[in-house]
Structures are given as C-alpha cells and as structure tokens.
Chains A and B, each alone.
Chain A
Amino acid sequence: MIGQIIKKQALVLIRNPVQLLLLVGLPIILILILGVALSSFMNGESPTIQVKLGIVEQEQEDAQLERFSEDKKGELPPAVLNQLDDILPIQRLKEDVFGSDEAAKYITLEEISPLDKEKVLDDNTYTALIEVPDNFTYEILEYSLLGEENQPSLQLFTNTEHQLGVSIVDGILKQFQEQLTLQTFLQEEAINPENLEENLQNVTADVLTLDQQVPISSKDYYTVGMAVMNVLFIASAIGSIAFLEKNIFVFDRIILANVSRWVYFVGILLSGMLFAFLHLVIIFGFSWIVFGVTWPNLLGFTFVTTAYAVAVGGIAVLLTALSYRLHSEVITNFFSNILVSLMALLGGSFFPLGDSSAFIATLGNLTPNGAGMSAYITLLRGNELSDVTDHVAFLLLFGFVSIVIAAWSFPKRGAAL
C-alpha cells in the first residue's frame, strides 16, 4: 500500500516536466552559473586576484642579528644564540609566508629600497607596502626571548582601491603577528630556552595540519550549496501534491478505501525521504561526472545524505499536515517562496555568510540545509565521518521533531472535516 503511494507520487512528479526541470535542472544551471562566475573568489588553483606587495626594510636584519648576539651574550645560552638565524621574523615573513607556494600564486612581493618608498606609495599598481622600522628584529628578539614589554609592530600602507587584496595581506600579517606572540608564550611557558626550537617546530607542524585539508573549489561549494537548497523544494512539491489530493478529494477516496491515515502519512514521509535522497544523488552524480566533484569519504557522504533525506521527508510531511489542518496551501507557498531562500542564505548556499560572524554560522547550522552543507563541506575537505556527527545528529533530530509535529496535527478523518 505504501509502495503504491510512493509509486504514484513518483509518476506524478515524473510526468510534470516543469516541476522536474525546476527540481533537477535548476540546481545544475545554478551550479554552472555560480561555479563559473565566482570561481575567482574560491578556486585556489586559478586565482585572478593578483596582489602586488612591497616591503621596505629601514635596517637590514643581519646587522640587527649581529648586534643582538653581541649584546645578549651573557643573557642567553650559546645554543639559543646559534639558532637565531632560523627564527628571524622578517626573513620568515618574506620566504615562508609571502614566498610560500600557496601565497605566491596571488601575491608578488618586491623588496623596495627605503629611498624608493615614496615612489611606491604613489604607484597605484601596488596593493600595499609593508614598512619594517629601524631595530624591528632586534626588538622582536628581545620581546620574544627576554620578555621585554614593548612589542614592535610593522607599518602597513594600503591602497584603498584594492580592498580585497588589502584584506588578504592584512589577514596574513595578523596571522603572522599571532604566531610571533605564540612563540613568546611558548618560550615563557617552556622556561628552558633549549626547548624553544622544538616548540617552534610544533607550532609550524600545527599550521601544516591545517594546510593539509583539501581545498574547496567554487564548483565543489556551489554543488553542495545548490543541492542542499534545491532538495528543500522536494518537500514543498510533495506538500503541494498532497494538498491537491485533499482539494480534489483524492485523499477522501483513499480514506474511504479504509486506508489508515497513517499509511498515507508514512507514504508521504517515505516519498519525501526517497525523492530527496535520489535528488541529492542525481545532483552530486551530475557534478561528479561534469565538474569532477568527488567525495573522499563515500560512507560519510551516504550517511549525511540519508540524514538530510530524513530531514527533508520530515519537512514534506509537516507541510502536508499543516496545509491539511489549515485547509490552505499558504504555508507550503510561504516555505517554497520565502523560507527556502532565507534558509539557503543563512545556511551559506549562496556564499559563506557564516564566515562573517560566529552567531550567523551557528544560526546557519540550525537550519537543515545549513547543517547538511556544513557536513558535506567538511567531508569534501577530507575530514572523517566522526567530524560531522553533530550535523548528522541535528538533521536526524530535525526530521524526528518535524514528523512528531506533523503526526500531531494530521487530520483525524477525511479532508472534508
């Protein structure tokens, strides 16, 4: 009986080309448009943003290092003084940070003579200029190794016309500054300066772990974004079909055939779950074939897809029950016309809105599509299933609560009540 209801729902959906195009065709078109249009913002492999960055050193770092070694001979052990070459901050900034393979793809660093500083500041082709003041390295070493109170800072001149590039450079410098502060902290906590090098290597190792995550391309991102958004329309499509069944008295006919309303209810629920699962598999399958979006963890993908399908099935049956209860399709229309867009925005389907604030990120994860999106993106980055259990649990809980509310509000007799 339930199988017949699911089969009938499938036939009704398949025979409606407009609805089918909206459900399957639209997300594919949107992935194409957004994936291509916004690839420059997200695709680490082919950036179009080019940052031209200058660095002016008012005093050479070698000279400061020599002076520091001479001045602090009595205060620091020889082993530490011998290793100072390895932790020179400006050298690391130039070679390890801005000179890294990843940064070099979109940042070109030029060393500028102090005499040319004004000329560079007038040159609009530069995104920013970093000025390293006199005695900077000497003071950093004092601050890091001897606990001096004053932490020197770099000066950053920015070109307001290159906002995106400026924010990238600013972000990198802030991260660099944090790492320097962390080194100081480790030095203070470790107490024994002999352990400093080991601690610094640990810090480097931590950073490397983060870098090992698989980068997300725009097509990866929008495949997930559009799939988790559009699958919500499965719920509203099923809700609409069910409401039509009520309006044209097909539901009454089913009830008069002595079919329990719970059989119908479960039929709607399972249709929602099954079609949502198939919809996601079709969209992700298409993206795999056409865009090369692959899943490192197939078991995790199946797990998240199943949990998300449960949530969508819950929404489908909830929309059905509410429209039956209210004798109106307004709630289904509100869901598909307004709520889906709002949830998609919060969940990050259009752009990673959650990156702008922790509150919005939390709010986004409290939507089923947001939780699904976070889970999928985490898996695409190469994380394990254990890293997405929170999201999966939320999706299952969301589905369960929706089903309970739907069951409670489902009409007792026929639609004519």
Chain B
Amino acid sequence: MLELDGLSKKFKQFYAVKSLNMFVERGEIIGLLGPNGAGKSTAISMISSLAEPTAGDVRYNNKSILKKPGEFRKIVGMVPQEIALYTDLTAEENLQFFGRMYRLKGSILKKRIQEILDLVGLADRKKDVVQTFSGGMKRRLNIGVALLHDPELLIMDEPTVGIDPQSRNYILETVKRLNKERAMTVIYTSHYMEEVEFLCDRIYIMDQGNLIASGTNEEIKRILSSEKTISIKSDQLNEQFIAMLQEHPLVNRVMSTDKEITLMVAKEVSMFGDLTKLAETAGIELTSVHNKTPTLEDVFLHLTGRALRD
C-alpha cells in the first residue's frame, strides 16, 4: 500500500531523517518508535505529503506521491502531535469547519459529525468550546477531526502525549477498534513502548534520524536473545553502587532511575551473589532483584545505550 524508499530530510548539515526504508500493508498498524528528536515527526510530515524530502520517495500503490499528492491526501487522516483545533470554537463547530474543508456538506456532514462525536465520546459536550475541555478530550477530538472523511490510512503522531491514563486507554482502544472494524491502516508514532507493543503489528525503531531496528514485536525482542535484563530495586541506591555495577566485567549496560537499576548481562550469567556483595560494600539494602522479560525499552537500550525517554 505505502512504501518509503531511502527517505531523507536534511536541514543544513543535519539529517532529521536519513535513508528511511519502510513499507506498510493494508490493514496493518505500524509503530514508529523512538525518543524525542528521533525524526519520527519529520518522517510523518514527509509520509503525509506535507514536507518535501531532500532525497528518496514515498509511493502509494506504486505511484510517487511527491509531485501530485492530491489522490493520496484523500485517503489519509492525520492526527498531529499538537492539538490542531480552534479552541475558541465548539467541538461541533470544529468538526463542521474541517468537514467542510473535506467537502462534506448537508445531511452527510451532519451524520458524520454525530458518528465522530459518538466514536470519540464527546456527543454530550458538542456545544462546549474546546478550551473548556480536558487534555484527554482535546486529544480525542483531535483524532475525531482526522476521521471525518473516513480515511483508509490514519497517521497518528504521538496522540497520547500529556493525558491521563483513562483517556490514553480510550484512545488506544479506539485505534484498535478502527483497525479491526473498518480495516483502517494506521501509522502510529510514540515514545511510549508499551503503547506500540499493545497496538502494533510491526514496529520501526528510530534514533537520531536513523532506522535502527524493524520487524514484529517478537522479531525485535529476539535481538536480545543473547542477553537478559535484571531489575534491582532499593530505597537507598547510591552513586558508589551504580559505579561498581558499571565497572563489573559481566555487566554489559546499566540504566538507573531513583529507585531502580536495570542491568543487561549475558543470558548465562548469574549475578545474584555478586549483587548482594556489591550492595553490602556500598552500604545499601536491596528490596528486590529479579529477571525481567525483555521489552522494547530494553531493545532500545541495547541498541543505543540510552533509554527511550532520555
């Protein structure tokens, strides 16, 4: 359905996206995962025909969309990362305006607006101006606008940033439903690996403009087949303990937060004895040590040495 061939975007000497190759089959949910600044939004802008690539091509049904994007735009719905709505207008007025932009009118537009309001759960708030909405409601309406013309392909750029878990779940479930019930193809960008793991059939992982891994969830996790992840928790974690772990010859990578340290070690290595001794030396008491099932976060750490949310 959609194919990206060596897509690059260069700003002066800096590559925001470098030689991105990707394909999307009809009915798939594709995840584009990466930390902030990875180049996901720039890639999305080029895929949606809003930005012109410095090099490469985007093909829809084997036809380049770069010169004549008109036909492609008819089947694309775009959910930008920003709340692209008029906050001084009501939910209904926003849908009316964008519906008219999509050349919907009369009873068809009216019916479509009602369907969208029901879908995003805002039917009872349709007469309220958007600035009175919560962050989650704004995000849902933001998605609703992109669905007005019933697109085949929905491109969502970090659609759950800054909202409460309830609204987040609502959005994720809605995306799943659209994909299942209407066979809608979805390109979903996020830096939340659990969202991508939950939603996506295939995943592309980007970092600093480069594609660093791609495949299904399981295929990507297999990258970690030679390693395992150990999670250490303590209320007293200190610099000395972290430094000792980093210097330990059997530890491949260390990632720490206030109360948790994640280690990556070779699969056959047993670290429990060493960890206890190191904790004693550093004068801390460990509350838990356990082997973790690898996540996409671990894959990203393995590939880049950094956490997704760094």
Contacts and interface: CB of A to CB of B under 8 A. Distances in A.
30 contacts: A1-B101, A4-B97, A4-B100, A8-B93, A11-B89, A12-B86, A12-B88, A248-B83, A249-B82, A249-B84, A250-B85, A252-B50, A252-B78, A252-B84, A253-B84, A253-B98, A253-B101, A254-B101, A256-B73, A257-B101, A257-B103, A257-B149, A258-B73, A258-B74, A413-B50, A413-B52, A415-B50, A416-B45, A416-B51, A417-B51
A256 B76 CA distance: 8
Given A256-B78, A257-B98, A250 B51 contact: no
A119 interface: no
A15 B130 CA distance: 12
A253 B93 contact: no
B249 interface: no
Given A250-B85, A258-B73, A8 B48 contact: no
A253 B78 contact: yes
A12 B90 CA distance: 11
Contact of A248 (B52, B84, B89): B84
A8 B93 CA distance: 9
A249 B50 CA distance: 10
A1 B84 contact: no
Given A4-B97, A8-B97, A414-B45, A255 B86 contact: no
Interface string B45-59: 100111110000000
For chain B, the bracket of interface size reads 20 to 34
A5 to B, nearest CB: 8
Nearest to A250: B84
Interface of A: 1, 4, 7-8, 11-12, 15-16, 247-250, 252-259, 413-417
A249 to B, nearest CB: 4
Interface string B170-214: 000000000000000000000000000000000000000000000
A1 B105 CA distance: 11
B129 interface: yes
Contacts of A247: 82
Contacts of B83: 248
B80 to A, nearest CB: 4
A9 to B, nearest CB: 10
A252 B73 CA distance: 11
B91 interface: no
B156 interface: no
Nearest to B88: A15
Contact of A11 (B45, B52, B80, B88): B88
B86 A252 contact: no
Nearest to B76: A256
B132 to A, nearest CB: 12
B303 to A, nearest CB: 28
Contacts of B80: 248-249, 252-253
Given A15-B88, A254-B101, A417 B76 contact: no
Given A4-B100, A15-B129, A256 B84 contact: no
Contacts of A254: 101
Contact of B70 (A7, A15, A258): A258
Interface string B139-181: 0000001100100000000000000000000000000000000
Contacts of B52: 413, 417
Nearest to B157: A249
A255 B50 contact: yes
7 A-B pairs closest in CB distance: A414-B50, A257-B101, A15-B88, A249-B80, A416-B45, A249-B84, A4-B100
Contact of B86 (A1, A250, A415, A417): A250
A257 B93 CA distance: 17
- Decide if the interface of chain B is mainly helix, strand, loop or mixed: loop
B13 to A, nearest CB: 19
B50 A416 contact: yes
Given A248-B82, A250-B84, A413-B51, A12 B70 contact: no
A254 B73 CA distance: 11
Given A248-B84, A257-B73, A11 B93 contact: yes
Given A252-B84, A253-B80, A15 B89 contact: yes
A16 B88 contact: yes
A277 B266 CA distance: 75
A256 B48 contact: yes
Pick from B50, B51, B81, B89 the residue with the most CB of A within 10 Å: B50
Contact of B50 (A4, A7, A15, A417): A417
A243 to B, nearest CB: 14
B102 interface: yes
A52 B102 CA distance: 75
A414 B101 contact: no
A153 B48 CA distance: 85
B129 A1 contact: no
A16 B48 CA distance: 33
Given A413-B52, A416-B45, A416-B50, A8 B149 contact: no
Contacts of B102: 257-258
A7 B83 CA distance: 21
A254 B149 CA distance: 13
Given A1-B101, A8-B93, 7 more contacts: A1-B103, A11-B86, A248-B84, A249-B84, A259-B101, A413-B50, A413-B52
A290 B200 CA distance: 67
Contacts of B86: 8, 11-12, 250
A8 B81 CA distance: 22
A260 to B, nearest CB: 10
Contacts of B101: 1, 4, 253-254, 257, 259
A254 B78 CA distance: 11
Interface string B264-276: 0000000000000
Contacts of B70: 258
Contacts of A12: 86, 88-89
A4 B89 CA distance: 13
Contacts of A8: 86, 89, 93, 97
A15 B100 CA distance: 21
Contacts of A415: 50
A16 B51 CA distance: 32
Interface in B38-73: 45, 48-52, 70, 73
A416 B146 CA distance: 17
A280 to B, nearest CB: 24
Interface in B116-132: 129
A254 B86 CA distance: 12
